Every structure is written in structure tokens, then in C-alpha cells.
Structure 1
């Protein structure tokens, strides 16, 4: 079973690489504004998780970059996710605005949030 998961994960990553979406083209000033708006975001994820790939593809389509935190292989990120969000479930978007932190777990909700904020 572990081999099947590993193999399927590699297939997902390969297909994501081959069919990678194109990002939005913005002026340098507009892209800088997007980057500043995204500074309070961090995505807790597993590299080969299909739902995490879905969120990363949405990030690429919106040309928004923020920190990706590996909750599978990094014990610090894993413990932050469990302590802050309450459970180890990915993808999870950590949104920090004006000193308040919100944790968003569902990939469809995260994609909708990114489209609303950065489209």
C-alpha cells in the first residue's frame, strides 16, 4: 500500500509538472502589491497530496507566492499545524491579518479565497 501511494504521488507530481497552468501577467507594481498582500499567508501541505496540488495550481494561476510549509517531513511545521489549526489535515492555509490568525482547511475553500483575493 505504501508503494502504491508513493507511485501515485509521483504520477500526480509528474502530471502537474507537464500540465502546469500559466500565471496571470501583471505590471511589476501590481505584482508587488499582490506579493505584499500575500505576506501573511502560509500553506501547510504535503508535496504529493492531490488536494495540495490543486491549491498550488490555483496559486500559480493567480501568480501569487507565499510560504509553503511541509507538514509531512518537517516536525516543526507539523506541530504548528496541530497547535494552531487543531488537527493535522492538509491543505491548510494560515491567514494572518492585523495580528489575527485564521486557519482554512478545505482545498475548495482555499481556492475560492485565492480567487476572491487575488483575481
Structure 2
């Protein structure tokens, strides 16, 4: 089963790289504002998770430079579990005005990104 998951994951990554979406064009100042707003956001994810790929593709389509953290690696996975409450990916960590919000579910994350940056 592990070998099958590995194989399917590699196919997902290959297809994602072959059919990568184009980012929207913005003026330099508008893009700088978005880059600043996104600086306090991190996407906890697994590289081959289809739902994580879905969120990363949408962020790329919106030209949002989201920092990603691989939740399989010890410090990030532990941080996700301890601070977010569960080790479920994708999870978007949003820090605004000194408060941290942990947003799970790919569709919720995409809706948030659309509302905030589209």
C-alpha cells in the first residue's frame, strides 16, 4: 500500500509540474502589498497530498507566494499538532494582529485566499 501511495504521489507531482497554472499579472506595487500580507502565512502540507496540491495550485494561480512547511518533517509536524490541534493537512496558519488562526480544509483555504487576494 505504501508503494502504491508513493507511486500515485509521484504521478500527481509530475502532472502538477506539466500542467502548472499561470499566475495572474499585477502591478509591482499591488504584488508587493500581497507579498507583505502573505508574509505571516504558512501552508502546512504534504508534498504529494492531492488536497495540498489543489491549494498550492490555487495560490500559484493567484500569484500568492505562500510559504510551505512539510508536516512530515519533525519540527513542522510537531508544531502543527501542538499549536493547530491536529495533524491534518492542508492547514493554513494565519497570523494577524497578534492572533493566530489555523484554517483546515482545502476548500475553506481556497475561499479565504479568493476573498482576500483575488
Range into which the TM-score falls when normalised by the shorter chain = over 0.9
| Residue 108 (structure 1) aligns with | 107
Unaligned stretches of 5+ residues in structure 1 = none
CA distance in 2, matches of 1:112, 1:56: 13
| Residue 31 (structure 1) aligns with | 31
| Residue 53 (structure 1) aligns with | 53
TM-score by length of 2: 0.98
Secondary structure at the residue paired with 2:68? strand
Ranges of 4+ aligned residues in structure 1 off by more than 3 Å: none
CA distance in 1, matches of 2:45, 2:89: 5
Residues 1-119 of structure 1: pairs in structure 2 closer than 5 A? 1-72=1-72, 74-119=73-118
Shift of 1:66: 2.2
Shift of 1:84: 1.0
CA distance in 1, matches of 2:64, 2:10: 24
Secondary structure at the residue paired with 1:25? coil
CA distance in 1, matches of 2:101, 2:86: 14
Shift of 1:39: 1.0
Alpha-carbon RMSD across the aligned residues, in angstroms, is: 0.6
How many correspondences in the alignment? 118
